Amino acid sequence: MPSEFTLDRHVEFSETDMAGIVHFSHFFRYMEETEHAFVHSLGFSLHRQERGAMSGFARVHAECDYRAPLRYHDTVAVRLRVERKGTRSLSYRFLFRKIADRGRACAPVEVAVGRMTVVHVTRGAEEDAFEAAELPPELARRLEPAPSEPESE
């Protein structure tokens, strides 16, 4: 069962600040982008709409600790690990490793560690508010928490 997924991506110029370093907020976008690619690789979508009813995944917690900078033209491998699978929620851990320095392959360098918790929510066609709901059964069957591993320093 899938419990890990890695997405490699190149840093775009528009993601950098005046110092030429990736702006901190983009790490949260990278986490979400990796989560979307992971779920899509399983044949699912994070957002579904049928006959006016909607379901999706609300972010209830996100954090990121930064260890080294990323710059324009770097390549970062974003590794997602399912840390916890509840009946209504998923918790992910993300490890960011630079694998190319300005276009040239390099030894992997840990640049950040992040975490995100999402809750599956639904809203009926006639309702205004979302409610927490059990994970879609077909998705829940395909996911498994990853084995524990030591924390990064």
Name all domains of the chain by residue range, CATH numbers in brackets: 4-142 (3.10.129.10)
Question: How far apart are the C-alpha atoms of 153 and 151, rounded to whole Å?
Answer: 6
| Confidence at residue 113, expressed as pLDDT on a 0 to 100 scale | 98
Using DSSP's 3-state secondary structure scheme, residue 34 falls into: helix
| Confidence at residue 12, expressed as pLDDT on a 0 to 100 scale | 96
| Confidence at residue 24, expressed as pLDDT on a 0 to 100 scale | 96
| Confidence at residue 42, expressed as pLDDT on a 0 to 100 scale | 93
| Confidence at residue 125, expressed as pLDDT on a 0 to 100 scale | 80
| Confidence at residue 124, expressed as pLDDT on a 0 to 100 scale | 85
| Confidence at residue 150, expressed as pLDDT on a 0 to 100 scale | 67
Counting as low any pLDDT under 50, the low residues of the chain are: none
| Confidence at residue 2, expressed as pLDDT on a 0 to 100 scale | 81
